[in-house]
Copies of this chain bind each other. A is one copy, B any other.
Amino acid sequence: MRKISILGSTGSIGTQALAVLKNLPDYQVTALAAGNNIELLLRQIKEFKPQLVSVARASGAAQIKKEFPDLAVFSGADGLSRAATDDADIVLAAAAGTDCILPVLEAVKLKKDIALANKEILVAAGEILLPLVRKHGVKLLPVDSEHSAVMQACPPVITDGYFVYPVETVNRLILTASGGAFRDLPAAQLPLQKSADALKHPNWQMGKKITIDSATLVNKGLEIIEAHWLFGVPYAQIEVLLHQQSIVHSLVEYRDGSVLAQLGLPDMRLPIQYALAYPRRVAGAVPKLDLLKIKNLTFQAPDLQNFRGLALAYEAGRIGGTMPAVFNAANEIAVELFCQDKLKFTEIPRLLEDIMQKHVTINNPVLDDILAAADWAKQQGAILWQKVR
């Protein structure tokens, strides 16, 4: 029996992970951490019977304690750390934001495997996380569909529990992108798009923030930074290909010219289950891909002129240090401002660029440098947004 702790259990990935776990009978849910959706968390507690839960606020914790007086209930940053460091064997990091970074680092130090759905951890703190992962010999299992695809197309060799990807034989990682909600729009229409339009994603059912990031291609930018750390591949060897059908989830080109690709319906339960069941392949509730129904798979170059977020991500990644954390935090505030109609869609990358230009990068940062840089970027966003209009 494997014990699992889920950080972000009421979010899109968290709820799908719990659905997947019903299909994996050798798993026991020992901890659940959520934000403010107390109602859903209460239902999850009833069904999965964790030993420990944590929520964002003390008021939520009190509400849960009333219904489950014998349950260990915590709140805030401390609660999230407790959920990550409780007696689970594997931690699913599916809570968004930088709050997740410290708890995951602590879990790694306790030799817990990590199933990684939170992008911030690798984007902002990949430089800190990876040496810890190596030192403690834990498995870092990607949950993103693209990185799951790369892992399947370039299977790791496991040495002392640590994944060694045979990337010395790899020419390129090719991450696919659906292109998001606005991929077919004329450039002149882009400034007129509202957040409600961005949420009409053509292929994937996902959370709000990631769906907007998909429309700006910033999501793909965050993913190239994640791929850089996860697989140890330089940015020059990570490319993005627009693939409208979201069937090919990514490709690995080997140096002999052979390309391996992972395909499947756009359904997050597949990469979630792959990460949790790894190295097993378990027959699941995921519908099968029928290429006779899909008929066509198309590929084109991403539009880096009108969707500059991707180019900025490469730049942030190549600069390294605290810059990727700044890029990510600046994007968080930009998306918030866009959702409040304070920024136009096309102003998102302009704000990102302005904040990046003002940032003085700290190389070889410690966690406090990263968190401070992210806070600084958010403050800058609140100051600078009126200038980019």
Contacts and interface: CB of A to CB of B under 8 A. Distances in A.
Interface of A: 152-153, 155, 169, 171, 174, 241, 248, 251, 253-265, 267, 270, 273-274, 277, 280-284, 286-289, 291-292, 294-301
Contacts of A270: 256-258
Given A259-B263, A259-B264, A260-B152, A281 B254 contact: yes
Given A169-B280, A258-B262, 8 more contacts: A254-B281, A256-B274, A259-B262, A259-B289, A260-B262, A260-B263, A291-B299, A296-B298
A289 B261 CA distance: 13
B300 A292 contact: yes
Given A257-B288, A289-B259, A300 B296 contact: no
A282 to B, nearest CB: 6
Contact of A251 (B263, B281, B301): B263
A262 B152 CA distance: 12
Contact of A264 (B257, B289, B298): B257
Nearest to A288: B257
Contacts of A298: 295-297
Contacts of A299: 291-292, 294-297
A270 B256 CA distance: 7
Contacts of A169: 280-281
A258 B283 contact: no
A305 to B, nearest CB: 16
Contact of A260 (B253, B254, B261, B282): B261
Contact of A257 (B248, B254, B289, B301): B289
17 contacts: A152-B260, A153-B260, A251-B291, A257-B265, A257-B267, A257-B286, A258-B262, A258-B263, A258-B264, A258-B270, A258-B274, A258-B281, A259-B264, A260-B263, A295-B298, A296-B298, A297-B298
A155 B153 CA distance: 10
B256 A281 contact: yes
Contacts of A241: 291-292
B257 A260 contact: no
A262 to B, nearest CB: 6
Contacts of A287: 257
B264 A283 contact: no
A39 to B, nearest CB: 31
B257 A284 contact: yes
Contact of A256 (B258, B283, B296, B297): B283
A156 B301 CA distance: 34
Of residues A280, A286, A287, A297, which shows the largest number of chain B Cβ atoms within 10 Å of its Cβ? A297
User: Of residues A256, A274, A295, which shows the largest number of chain B Cβ atoms within 10 Å of its Cβ?
Assistant: A256
Contacts of A174: 291
Contacts of A264: 257-259
